[in-house]
Chain A
Amino acid sequence: MSTTTLPARAKSSGPGGSRSRATGGKKGLAKALVPFGYLSPTVILLTVLMVIPIVMVIGYSLMDNVIMKKNPQFVGFKHYSDILSSESFWTAVTNTLFFTGVSVVAHLILGLAFAMMLNTDLLGHKTKAIFRTIYVLPWLFTVAIIAVLWRLLLEPNGVINYLLTASHLAGSQIEWLGSPETALFAVTFINIWSGYPFYMTSLLAGLQGIPGEYYEAAQVDGASAWQRFTRITLPQLKPIIISMALLDFIWTTQQFALIWMTTGGGPLGTTEMLSTFTYKLAFTKYQFGAASASAVIVLVISMVLAFFYVRAQKARD
Chain B
Amino acid sequence: MRKKFLAGIAVMAAATLAMTGCASGSTTAPTSAAGSSSAAAEEVTLEFAQWWEPELPANALRGLMDQFEKANPGIKVKLISGPYASTKEQVVAGAAAGTMSDVVGLDGAWVNDFVKQGSLANLSELMKAASFDEKQLAAQVQLNGSTWMIPVANFVYPMFVNDDLLKKAGVSAVPTNRTEFTAAAAALTKLGNNTAGWVLPLDSSAPNGIQNDVMSWVWSSGGSMLKDGKPYLTGNADVKSAMEFIKGMYDAGSIAKGSFTMKEQDKVNEFTNGRVGMMIDSLAHVNLIREQNKDLKFQVAAIPSADGYSGKRGMPYASWGIGVAANSKHQAEAFKLVAFLLGKDVNATLCNAAHAFPGNAQAVPDFVNSDPIFKQAFDIYQAGTPTNEFTGLPVAEDLMRSFDEQFQKYLAGKQSADDALAAAQKAWDAAFAG
Contacts and interface: CB of A to CB of B under 8 A. Distances in A.
Interface in A256-287: 260-269, 276, 280, 283-287
Contacts of B409: 268
A288 to B, nearest CB: 7
A173 B260 contact: no
B194 A157 contact: yes
Interface string B14-30: 11100100010000000
Contacts of B206: 264
8 contacts: A33-B5, A34-B5, A40-B12, A157-B194, A157-B270, A177-B261, A264-B261, A286-B113
B395 A284 contact: yes
B383 interface: no
Given A30-B5, A155-B266, A284-B395, A179 B19 contact: no
A30 B2 contact: yes
Contacts of A34: 1, 4-5, 8
Say which size band chain B's interface belongs to. Answer: 35 or more
A177 B258 CA distance: 7
Interface in A224-270: 260-269
Contact of B258 (A67, A175, A180, A283): A175
B412 interface: yes
Given A34-B4, A156-B194, A178-B259, A44 B118 contact: no
B116 interface: yes
A266 B409 CA distance: 11
Given A38-B11, A267-B408, A269-B405, A155 B258 contact: yes
A131 B281 CA distance: 45
B89 A288 contact: no
Contacts of A295: none
Most buried by B among A155, A157, A268, A286: A286
Contacts of A288: 96
A266 B408 contact: yes
Interface string A52-70: 0000000000000101111
Interface residues of A, number: 48
Contact of A286 (B11, B12, B203, B395): B395
A37 interface: yes
A249 to B, nearest CB: 25
Interface of A: 27, 30-31, 33-38, 40-41, 44-45, 48, 65, 67-70, 151, 155-157, 173, 175, 177-180, 183, 260-269, 276, 280, 283-288
A263 B395 contact: no
Contacts of A35: 8
B135 to A, nearest CB: 34
B256 interface: yes
A31 B3 CA distance: 10
Interface in B178-231: 194, 202-206
Most buried by B among A37, A151, A287: A37
Contacts of A265: 204-205
A156 B195 CA distance: 11
A286 B8 CA distance: 44
A155 to B, nearest CB: 6
Given A34-B5, A175-B258, A262-B261, A40 B266 contact: no
B9 interface: yes
Interface in B401-431: 401, 405, 408-409, 412, 414, 431
Contacts of B2: 30
Contact of B205 (A30, A44, A70, A260): A260
A262 to B, nearest CB: 7
B262 interface: yes
B12 A37 contact: yes
B286 interface: no
B15 A156 contact: no
B332 interface: no
B203 to A, nearest CB: 5
Given A157-B275, A266-B203, A285-B395, A67 B96 contact: yes
Contacts of A173: 194, 257
Given A41-B15, A261-B205, 11 more contacts: A35-B8, A37-B8, A37-B9, A67-B96, A68-B116, A173-B194, A183-B261, A265-B205, A267-B204, A267-B412, A268-B412
Contact of A178 (B257, B275, B397, B431): B257
Contacts of B434: 65, 287
B403 to A, nearest CB: 13
B398 interface: yes
